[in-house]
Amino acid sequence: YAGVPAKAASVTSPATQRSLDVATPKSLTAYMSPEQLCARPSGPACDQFSFAVMAHEALFGVHPFPGRTLEERRCAVQRGPPRTRGSLARALRRALEVDPAARYPSVDALLAALIAAARVRPRRSRAWITAAIAAVGAIAWLVVHCGVG
């Protein structure tokens, strides 16, 4: 992730967690995948996890893994995705899995699952759900492709 000092991102000892909290903006750590929070090798599944956190916030109004500190967020993420009801929540839950191999094979597959889940909702809520997914997708695309953020 841009803006995260490489040295800070690779630190895992408890004695240095305070420096990671300071070196990494809270707005960034709130969207980090379990791999990133534990300084393990990461890949495209990290982006899917971060996208799912943003989508969860946009659709449900709450962060799926609450915490004020890096350690609190790490513990919340390690407990796994929240158990919420509904087709959209189920679609997001898979993208929020702790194990990257349990997530969707791609962000495109996640988006397809979200669109399919939005189609089973009542007609009046379908438009705002589709708009929210499109907005989060557009923001994610800008961040990944244009370095915005």
51: exposed, middle or buried (Cβ count in 10 Å: 0-12, 13-18, 19+): buried
**pTM: predicted TM-score of the whole model, two decimal places:** 0.65
Distance, CA of 119 to CA of 46 (rounded, Å)? 26
Instruction: Name the nearest CA neighbour of 121 among 141, 142, 91.
Output: 91
Distance, CA of 2 to CA of 144 (rounded, Å)? 10
Highest mean pLDDT among 58-67, 72-81, 96-105, 113-122: 96-105
Highest mean pLDDT among 27-31, 82-86, 97-101: 97-101
Mean pLDDT of 20-45: 73
